[in-house]
Amino acid sequence: MTQAKPKIRLYVPLSFAQQHVLALDQAQSHYLAHVMRVREGDAIAVFNGQDGEWLAKVSAIAKKSVTLSLEECIAPQKNSPDVWLAFAPIKNKTDIVVEKAVELGVSALLCVYTRHAVVKSINREKLAIHAAEAAEQCGRHDVPRFEEYSELASLLARWPEDRTLLFADESGGGENFKSLLGKLKPGKYAVLIGPEGGFSADEHHMLKLCKRVMSFGLGPRILRADTAGVAALACVQAWLGDWEKQPRFEAVE
């Protein structure tokens, strides 16, 4: 009978090798020992974004540290689709945007500050932890990279020529999303979502002048910025074929 999969899944950004010992940092050690209350010999699933998913056993528990012993690889590395999300931080909801984007399989998160953005700074370390926790929960083997841009102009100035940027145009000037998807070809894509107050006129003009930018609309209702990001990513991932893959079913006990 196949061994039941561990209920605890942890992102450990360290090098993996069979029989290798992983010394966890203080935060993860505290989580396992005092929140999840693991015991020596307990099984945990771990991944590092490069070497697939591994079965590990708790080999030692000290006052402020937990050590894991890697046992075997239980799933080969599977990387998420090459889709990016560029977004303006949202008051009290930036972590939600990050969480949902990770669940929807983005490979990069690009935070950009726009003129009408209410939030002018973010805690990158906190958001990185939030992204890792979301990856642990949703079963992916990688965690998206995170980049920060001071303004939209700096993002567009560095935009790669081989990637199309799909811009959510809240002004009504964008193409119907269904029609737009019908014109797209396989390739590299990113979705851009604006702040609560929308893009400024100058930013709209800047986007319209970019060759790699295509604008779209998201229906007749006014969507919150966090909702718009989820809606757009869901449509793009479905079109790219990511949603055609079967989920990894778990045995029901």
Residue 215 pLDDT > 70, yes or no?
yes
What confidence category does residue 249 fall into, taking pLDDT thresholds of 50, 70 and 90?
low
What is the spatial distance between Cα 149 and Cα 155, in angstroms, rounded to a whole number?
6
Residues 53 and 109 occupy one common structural domain: no
What is the spatial distance between Cα 47 and Cα 132, in angstroms, rounded to a whole number?
10
Residue 86 pLDDT > 80, yes or no?
yes
In the listed set 19, 44, 75, which residue is the last one of a domain according to the structure?
75
Identify the residue with better confidence: 26 or 183: 26
Mean pLDDT of the chain: 90
Average pLDDT over residues 181-194: 90
Q: What is the pLDDT of residue 253?
A: 46
Cα of 246 vs its chain's centroid, Å: 19
Provide, rounded to the nearest whole percent, the portion of the chain with pLDDT above 90: 68
Residues 120 and 224 occupy one common structural domain: yes
Residue 1 pLDDT > 70, yes or no?
no
Q: Of 124, 131, 123, 219, give the one whose Cα is nearest residue 179.
A: 219
Q: Three-class SS of residue 172?
A: coil
**Rounded alpha-carbon distances, angstroms, from residue 209 to 14, 20, 86, 161, 185:** 43, 52, 18, 14, 21
What is the spatial distance between Cα 209 and Cα 38, in angstroms, rounded to a whole number?
56
What is the spatial distance between Cα 81 and Cα 5, in angstroms, rounded to a whole number?
25
Q: For the chain, state the CA radius of gyration.
A: 20
Average pLDDT over residues 220-227: 89
Identify whether the C-beta of residue 56 lies closer than 8 Å to the C-beta of residue 69: yes
139-165 confidence digits (pLDDT tens): 999 999 999 998 999 999 999 999 999
Q: What is the pLDDT of residue 184?
A: 86
Residues 200 and 223 occupy one common structural domain: yes
In the listed set 29, 48, 75, which residue is the last one of a domain according to the structure?
75
What is the spatial distance between Cα 213 and Cα 192, in angstroms, rounded to a whole number?
10
Provide, rounded to the nearest whole percent, the portion of the chain with pLDDT above 70: 95
116-137 confidence digits (pLDDT tens): 888 889 999 999 999 999 999 9
| Residue 252 maps to a domain | no
CATH number for position 163: 3.40.1280.10
Helix 94-103 / helix 124-138 crossing angle, nearest 10 deg = 30
- 161 lies in which domain range? 83-244
